[in-house]
Amino acid sequence: MAEIIQEEKRQKGGKKRPRRGVARVDMTPMVDLMALLLTFFMLTTAFNKPKIMVITMPEKDNKPHDQPKIDAKRTLNILLGDSDRVYYYMGIADPNKPLPTLIKTNFSKDGLRRLLLEKNRALFTKIVDYKSARAKGRIVVADTTAENYIKQLKIDDNVGPIVLIKPDVKAKYKDVVATIDEMSICNIASYAIVDLSPTEKDMLKSAPR
């Protein structure tokens, strides 16, 4: 222990006097205990709480005949296959017409993100400009106002891509999350998770690995 109590040397025949030591409390056990508790709390505390990604799915209607018409020129289809494979094509795969070719890409910065930024250039620039103007103090508005403004920009957008995320039966959940994540990184205004059509399933099967 940290404190060593020295024996007083007593001379032979000397008077026995009561020792007048300093009233010192040995703090060591307290330190021991505290270190223990501290370690316990440090190990059991969750420092970074998990985060949530909010997804709003379109209302389910059981009437397949009135599907909304979407502009084929703006449609970007992202097909997710097994073992992290990603493909994309523009437009609509119509079995009665020559099929579009699938282009292979990946989840890196130069893959999917580059493609999305390219397609979404107009809206992305607008949003980034607005955000940087706010950060520099040129525009002073409340957070909710800014959010609403960005929301409105997204609603008004009519040139950006409409992204359809189509996971195959073998696609991993993390790839779907990564794709949706890219949508928010690239400020894509409209996207949805859609099932693969039989034509697309065949396209995916014959696609180069």
Binding residues (CB under 8 A) for other proteins: these are 2-6, 24, 27-28, 30-31, 34-35, 37-38, 41-42, 44-46, 48-60, 80, 109, 113-114, 117-118, 121, 124-125, 128-129, 132, 167-178, 180-181, 184-186
Q: How far is the CB of 59 from other proteins (least distance, A)?
A: 6
C-beta of 181 vs 202, nearer to other proteins: 181
Q: How far is the CB of 4 from other proteins (least distance, A)?
A: 6
Q: Which of 166, 178, 154, 173 is nearest to 204 (CA)?
A: 166
C-beta of 94 vs 170, nearer to other proteins: 170
Q: How far is the CB of 53 from other proteins (least distance, A)?
A: 4
C-beta of 13 vs 64, nearer to other proteins: 64
Query: Does residue 170 sit in helix, strand or coil?
Result: coil
**Residue 135 CA to its chain's centroid (Å):** 22
**Alpha-carbon distances of 75 from 14, 70, 72, 92, 124, rounded to whole Å:** 105, 7, 5, 7, 17
Q: How far is the CB of 174 from other proteins (least distance, A)?
A: 3
Report the C-alpha gap between 72 and 119 in whole angstroms.
14
Structure tokens at 162: 């409409």
Q: How far is the CB of 98 from other proteins (least distance, A)?
A: 28
Structure tokens at 169: 């039966």
Contact call for residues 81 and 98 (beta carbons, < 8 A): no
C-beta of 52 vs 142, nearer to other proteins: 52
Structure tokens at 56: 């709003």
C-beta of 72 vs 159, nearer to other proteins: 159
The distance in angstroms from the start CA to the end CA of the chain is: 68
